[in-house]
Structure 1
């Protein structure tokens, strides 16, 4: 490592320093929300990779990812052991394996950077490009897990003004590049600080840009938070109590649109068609209201039929939205031929929902068209924007009670803020025990309900029309730019192999 850079990481063993930097990165995300930590943590990782051998680079990247996810997603263990019925030792082993897989993406990204770095002005951009490509792959490979992407740290103004332009991957690139460029400036390349200053100077001006406009009158929506524990919710004898609770809370609401959370009614739709659904249709007709509520669409008497995690719409127009992207091991079992025998031996319960493979058009609600997503789907920008430009309002229903009093709900809510800003739409979020809220079309929190208690939040949501640049192009532009940076670095290395030989010592 060059002498000018040694002081940046001197006195610390390389792998523990990388692990610590990854752990500290969690402070950038909800509920802590300190976005300045993101470039600091990624800048530290970049400094640890300067002139580092490829094998050592993988180890340092893996350690960074292990620190990030070990402190970022410990709620996985809580879900598997407390509510999933998995024995604690197996739940711990599964959680460790899950974190190791996620950390491997960071390790591979750092290994690729170590192979291509050229010890010149392109390196900070190359590091950011490869890091964000790693995030993208992690979000799509084997159904993906796009959680704790660096860009979500920018869920505060004025940084969030970039979201409708470049999306969360673009924000990841900006924050990561800012960290690496700052490290280069500290090493003596002061001109590398100019792009960082330019980004900071441009950011406030972006807040004045508007790509969407209002469509009609606002809608009053009542978001019902039932606060039903999973152990109660899925008990066969508790269904009537749950329905009475939601009807009691709904009677206290005055919104024209009433939204209950994911699987608020934890039973099959065909079992509700005799009494409950006709009663809800009567309430909608008499009160001039519209209801959205989560339930299970399917037939318990048909074991081979599809079973959907769904939202039913009742009002002037009835309909369904069916969840398209399920949670692996939570809502379905991947590779059932391989894993079912293992789970049967270990007596581990597993859900068996069916993903909906067709397009889901927006649901007509009053004078708006609602783009619905269910829980985990909010992490996938392409799913949320699929209903645009038709959708004038976004709705997300969720049940985060599976994760207890962990950071999961806050992390998911932060993701929802970026989705609203990317799409340029107000988003109403109804959850079982928090966070129930209204997020404005710029991603700002406009109202929220206290978590872990039953209640109703009545908000005024504004429908919007129009498309943001992110709506039009998605991640295509960002991914092309990242690929070009990597291609230039690869060409440079091939053209001048002597200029990119590795130095340094193994970590």
Structure 2
């Protein structure tokens, strides 16, 4: 129940303080398992139950993609979703087991240990088996949370660490406040909640002050942009008879909304590049040249026997392209040994080749644009590979696979964190939502309503410079977490386990 309730901290609800209370509740449950008889297995089960509740409630949209749009039988899709969430729950389970095993006396030491183990578990989940960092605690703390100020310094996992630490501190404040020993003056002096309350204020105040720091500077002239949202339903998108409807939709939106940079969503044109009429591409190029600008569209590209999920630019900057480098397992490539699983689903374009990891930013409309496609923006260290050279971030997505679920809003919140980490604006063009412009401080400046057809027109700036996270990535917070684990467990007394 604590894990499921924790989903309320994430978009679209966005009650960010719930994450502190939810993790504080988990901290309390794990505290109860420590003592003279270390119940490591119970600690693992408690944390696994928390994680399972979090993921079942928060990523249930996996079922939608497999069953509703993937054509998989409902029972099998439900089983696959449950198993997926169970595997994800192994990471918090390991953190819980280690906490019970390593915890030593001292409320602050335990809070630091809990936060560090939780952070390392989330980081591990972000790269193991190609990675699934969705619902990392730090994402719930994107703007307007005061903890968002830590993002440019330590990245999303540093924000996770501060949120988990707050959970432990809040538990300690409540525990001391309600303690029966505090009924006497002597007991109150011993159990006074002032110290954990002060530590809580320091964590919150530090984040709020850092949020006022500007790590990057605007560069170049303001740039007019048009982000197109075609709102083509996933269940009809790939039908041959709908092909020319899609072409007409995006041509009309681009023609009616001139801008120096026009962005179409991921696989906006439902075909391979060589299947699109040449005169249509010429027409898009002419639309871009009206403003002496560029148009960026998502399309699949075939190269010999290899296929890429790509973004192609047309316009003043000439033809440039970016190929998606971090593919979605089962959605864009078939992991070894799982061909039988994919045979029970009907997922088009599910056998792509990953693009090169060293692709430079595209030069579009006078800016160096770091392009990322779909859930690539969930991987902060991959995004910063194009920085500080890139002055603008652009994401092309198609989350129509997940229908009217939590996924589109959660994905936008992830984009907010990337802007905070990098000090760059993020432009998101999606098929069905959420198409949005995100400022460098993580605020969503404007967004189109989901499941509507239209263009989001606005003015943005490129930014230069580098935040500490751009320079160092995740390593500082990982090293800090490892050192804190070693420090907070160093006084452990060996005791027999039950």
Q: Does 1:261 align with 2:265?
A: yes
Q: Does 1:43 align with 2:24?
A: yes
Q: Deviations over 1:458-496 (max 9, x none)?
A: 010110000001111111110000000112244332xx3
Change in Cα spacing, 1:89 to 1:261, as seen in structure 2 (3 Å) is same
Change in Cα spacing, 1:273 to 1:152, as seen in structure 2 (3 Å) is same
Aligned ranges 1:349-368 → 2 under 5 Å: 349=347, 351-368=350-367
Q: What is residue 47 of structure 2 aligned with on the other side? A: 61
Change in Cα spacing, 1:309 to 1:133, as seen in structure 2 (3 Å) is same
Q: Does 1:32 align with 2:13?
A: yes
Q: Secondary structure at the match of 1:373?
A: strand
Q: What is residue 335 of structure 2 aligned with on the other side? A: 334
Q: What is residue 131 of structure 1 aligned with on the other side? A: 118
Cα displacement (A) at 1:331: 1.0
Change in Cα spacing, 1:225 to 1:117, as seen in structure 2 (3 Å) is same
Q: Does 1:114 align with 2:100?
A: yes
Q: Does 1:187 align with 2:175?
A: yes
Q: What is residue 59 of structure 2 aligned with on the other side? A: 73
Cα displacement (A) at 1:280: 2.5
Cα displacement (A) at 1:122: 0.7
Q: What is residue 282 of structure 1 aligned with on the other side? A: 286
Kept in 2, the 8 Å contact 1:214–1:465? The answer is yes
Cα displacement (A) at 1:29: 0.2
Q: Distance in 2 between matches of 1:324 and 1:65?
A: 29
Q: Secondary structure at the match of 1:369?
A: strand
Kept in 1, the 8 Å contact 2:173–2:196? The answer is yes
Q: Distance in 1 between matches of 2:345 and 2:162?
A: 46
Kept in 2, the 8 Å contact 1:86–1:349? The answer is no
TM-score normalised over the length of structure 1: 0.90
Q: Distance in 2 between matches of 1:353 and 1:443?
A: 32
Q: Deviations over 1:359-379 (max 9, x none)?
A: 111100121110011111010
In the alignment, structure 1 segments of 5+ residues that lack a partner are: 1-19
Moved more, 116-125 or 391-400: 116-125
Q: Does 1:475 align with 2:474?
A: yes
Q: Does 1:439 align with 2:420?
A: no
Kept in 1, the 8 Å contact 2:251–2:284? The answer is no
Change in Cα spacing, 1:379 to 1:183, as seen in structure 2 (3 Å) is same
Q: Distance in 2 between matches of 1:420 and 1:123?
A: 32
Aligned ranges 1:329-408 → 2 under 5 Å: 329-335=330-336, 338-341=337-340, 343-344=342-343, 346=344, 349=347, 351-408=350-407
Q: Distance in 2 between matches of 1:257 and 1:171?
A: 33
Aligned ranges 1:92-107 → 2 under 5 Å: 92-107=78-93
Q: Does 1:322 align with 2:358?
A: no
Q: What is residue 459 of structure 2 aligned with on the other side? A: 460
TM-score normalised over the length of structure 2: 0.92
Q: What is residue 131 of structure 2 aligned with on the other side? A: 144
Aligned length: 473
Change in Cα spacing, 1:70 to 1:211, as seen in structure 2 (3 Å) is same
Kept in 2, the 8 Å contact 1:51–1:114? The answer is no
Change in Cα spacing, 1:471 to 1:343, as seen in structure 2 (3 Å) is closer
Moved more, 191-200 or 137-146: 191-200
Q: Secondary structure at the match of 2:437?
A: strand
Aligned ranges 1:292-331 → 2 under 5 Å: 292-298=296-302, 305-317=305-317, 318-331=319-332
Change in Cα spacing, 1:342 to 1:396, as seen in structure 2 (3 Å) is closer
Q: Distance in 1 between matches of 2:45 and 2:363?
A: 52
Q: Secondary structure at the match of 2:490?
A: helix
Q: Does 1:219 align with 2:223?
A: yes
Q: Deviations over 1:331-376 (max 9, x none)?
A: 11111xx2224544x4655611111133111100121110011111
Q: Distance in 2 between matches of 1:342 and 1:225?
A: 32
Q: Deviations over 1:82-111 (max 9, x none)?
A: 111111111011001001101111111101
Cα displacement (A) at 1:316: 2.1
Q: Secondary structure at the match of 1:218?
A: strand
Q: Does 1:174 align with 2:178?
A: no
Cα displacement (A) at 1:139: 0.6
Q: Does 1:198 align with 2:186?
A: no
Q: Distance in 1 between matches of 2:357 and 2:487?
A: 39
Q: What is residue 14 of structure 1 aligned with on the other side? A: none
Q: What is residue 5 of structure 1 aligned with on the other side? A: none
Q: Deviations over 1:369-395 (max 9, x none)?
A: 100111110100012111101110110
Change in Cα spacing, 1:347 to 1:436, as seen in structure 2 (3 Å) is closer
Kept in 1, the 8 Å contact 2:154–2:477? The answer is yes
Q: Distance in 1 between matches of 2:277 and 2:491?
A: 66
Q: Secondary structure at the match of 1:371?
A: strand
Q: Distance in 1 between matches of 2:228 and 2:204?
A: 40
